[in-house]
Homo-oligomer: A and B are copies of this chain.
Amino acid sequence: MKLARPLKRLTESLERLPGIGPRTAKRLAFYLLHVPQSELTELAESIENLKKETVLCTICKNVSETDPCPICSDSTRDQSQIMVVETPLDVIVLDQTGKYKGAYHVLHGVISPLNNIGPDELYIKDLFDRALSSANPPTEIILATDPTMEGEATALYIEKEIRRRLNGTLKITRLGSGLPVGADLEYADEVTLSRAFEGRQEFS
């Protein structure tokens, strides 16, 4: 007994997605058999048109329907602040806090020599062009890559390269590092505790 071909084909496509193994793929495929055809068509069209209906904003490289994207063309936002993030998802998460009202720059990854990803594979050169622009000089670059080994290395590389190319000064900052809200001090790792200590702040 083999899987019917339409099910097999779908299962194989689903298996290629991250976090979906052979069993989950099969379960999803069989689940979809019980879904009304109209919903299947809707899902199929969303997938088919995903890339056709989106572009990368030429300024910030975020995924968008329009170019420039809604953030880059929003005059109520401070376009002289640039927050550098790894992925478009980071933009959504950071913007949901409502604390930040500047612009973004999406790298689409981090420098990772082990995976053959160097600065040229990311949108880092575009960031340098923005940072050193004489037409719209930024006032602050906020490096908001993940606090992982690769994220930190990417942030350090960007900071060093901008400083090296820049005539004059530019505020370059990094997202605060320390204990997450709700964490238990007892279970925090040493590096996080050291960072929390270094980044201690006076009561205001």
Contact = CB atoms under 8 A, between A and B. Distances in A.
B71 A1 contact: yes
Interface residues of A, number: 53
Interface of A: 1-7, 9-10, 13-14, 16-19, 24, 26-33, 37, 39-54, 63-65, 70-71, 87-89, 91-92, 95-96
Copies of this chain per assembly = 2
Given A1-B70, A27-B89, A47 B43 contact: yes
11 contacts: A1-B92, A2-B70, A3-B92, A7-B50, A9-B46, A10-B50, A13-B43, A17-B32, A26-B92, A40-B47, A44-B47
A42 B42 CA distance: 15
Contacts of A65: 4-6
A64 B4 contact: yes
A39 to B, nearest CB: 7
Contacts of A88: 30, 33
A6 B43 contact: no
Contacts of A9: 42, 46
A43 B20 CA distance: 14
Contacts of A30: 63, 87-89
A58 to B, nearest CB: 15
